Amino acid sequence: MSAPALKFASEFRDPAAARVLLAAIARKADEIGATREKPVHVMEICGGHTHSIFRYGLDKLIHDGVEFIHGPGCPVCVLPMARVDECVEIAEKPGVIFTTFGDAMRVPGHRKSLIQAKSAGADIRMVYSPLDALELARRNPGREVVFFGLGFETTTPSTALSIQQAAREGLTNFSVFCNHITVPEPIKALLDDPDMRLDGFIGPGHVSMVIGIHPYDFIAADYGKPIVVAGFEPTDLLQSVLMVLTQIAEGRAAVENQYGRVVPEHGNPVSLAAIAVVYERRPSFEWRGLGEIDASGLRIRPTYAAFDAEEKFGIGYATGRRNVPELEGCACGSVMIGKLKPTQCPQFGKGCSPEMPLGALMVSSEGACAAYWQYAGAREAAE
């Protein structure tokens, strides 16, 4: 192993364990004949994993025959621009207090981002939890409080439980603009894409904390690819890559759980029940870079229509479809699904930087472009 690799490894909490794992990965990669020219493509789906890979330079430390492909697992990044426009439209309505996670504030829309709408006078507030939005609704009975419900299965239970709480209290001025999406469906779309060559997956640990590991059974059973649900520490990720390579070497494909200390096989029953009661699947949902994917988004069931901002304000999918194109020259779509590296986008570092983002991948700390910007540049300078 080269000297810079050891330097990176020394930043690990447990450098000895990292070195052992890196060596085991190298042996396994050699065993299956993976090389720089013919690498094994391992997709990490979760933006948190992408961030961790860059933070620790795992993509550089690991054997040349293993290539990380960064998947569409940052909910802010996969949101199509039209949905940001709809947020702004709701936020600009008189009497509305629009509440959102801070991550979404700077994502560009066609007209403006939420932060621009806020400086132009709309009442937009950053909250930490949908419970904060609920509290705002209690304290401001004369105002309409809308929460921007965003995220994969990890955050879906929080809005489901908040809607149920609002219903129990009889709150009539609280609603959720639902943009919850699911992880398994876009993976299926990627596996069906003939241009993609993926050999295995690292599954998002905190999503499986909610849904368990079995929603991924189809990846192994129908597509013959390994998937390992992983934690977020660097050694978790390395161990998961080793588990993927081991399956490939043994000619197996299975769903395995590296993060058993947090992920129960069948997920969290209370969360799953709340999701099932409050939400149903949309026939399809639009993803930036991936287009419409069947059954990949959730909407609020008619029983809870009073808490559905789309119904309340006649916006979004409630109005029929609007097809709004993405910005020209922005390659977020191709980067999102791993077809382009961030630096291959013509706008990277030119028209698009974290200070002046053109696309969502540059906004969120979990976006691949922001991660490249933050870590890869410094690393290249150091090398």
Partner 1 sequence: MCLGIPGKITAITDAARLMAMAEISGVRREVNVACVAGVDLEALVGTWVLIHVGFAMSLIDEDEAARTLEALRDLGEAQEALEQMAAADEALA
The contact set with partner 1 (CB under 8 A) reads: 13, 46-48, 51-52, 55, 73-76, 99, 101-103, 125-132, 135-136, 139, 150-152, 154-155, 157-158, 161, 165, 204, 206, 209-210, 232-234, 261-262, 268, 270-271, 274, 365-366
Nearer to partner 1, 103 or 185 (CB): 103
Nearer to partner 1, 233 or 280 (CB): 233
Nearer to partner 1, 99 or 246 (CB): 99
Q: How far is the CB of 210 from partner 1 (least distance, A)?
A: 7
Q: How far is the CB of 228 from partner 1 (least distance, A)?
A: 18
Q: How far is the CB of 135 from partner 1 (least distance, A)?
A: 6
Nearer to partner 1, 221 or 270 (CB): 270
Q: How far is the CB of 322 from partner 1 (least distance, A)?
A: 26
Nearer to partner 1, 268 or 347 (CB): 268
At 71, which helix (H) or strand (E)? none
Tokens of 222: 């129908």
Do the beta carbons of residue 371 and residue 51 sit within 8 Å?
yes
Q: How many C-beta neighbours within 10 Å does residue 123 have?
A: 17
Q: How far is the CB of 206 from partner 1 (least distance, A)?
A: 6
Short-list 176, 177, 196, 178, CA closest to 186: 196
Nearer to partner 1, 47 or 359 (CB): 47
Short-list 211, 217, 263, 216, CA closest to 236: 263
CA distances to 12, 169, 222, 334 from 360, rounded to whole Å, are 30, 36, 32, 13
Nearer to partner 1, 55 or 350 (CB): 55
Contacting residues for 331 by C-beta, under 8 A, at least 6 apart: 340, 344, 345, 346, 347, 359
Tokens of 70: 């960064």
Nearer to partner 1, 90 or 253 (CB): 90
Q: How far is the CB of 125 from partner 1 (least distance, A)?
A: 4
Half-sphere exposure of 306 (CA within 13 A, CB side): 11
At 174, which helix (H) or strand (E)? strand 174-180
CA distances to 135, 201, 266 from 192, rounded to whole Å, are 44, 15, 26
Nearer to partner 1, 41 or 125 (CB): 125
Nearer to partner 1, 185 or 311 (CB): 185
Q: Is 198 helix (H, G, I), strand (E, B) or coil?
A: coil
Long-range contacts of 267-270 (CB under 8 A, 24+ apart): 267/208, 267/209, 267/210, 267/211, 267/212, 268/157, 268/209, 268/210, 270/157
Give the integer Cα–Cα distance in Å for 234 and 244. 15
Give the integer Cα–Cα distance in Å for 268 and 201. 22
Q: How far is the CB of 350 from partner 1 (least distance, A)?
A: 25
Q: How far is the CB of 137 from partner 1 (least distance, A)?
A: 11
Q: How far is the CB of 131 from partner 1 (least distance, A)?
A: 5
Tell me how many degrees the CA angle 141-143-149 measures, rounded to the nearest 5: 105
Q: How far is the CB of 261 from partner 1 (least distance, A)?
A: 6
Tokens of 239: 């161990």
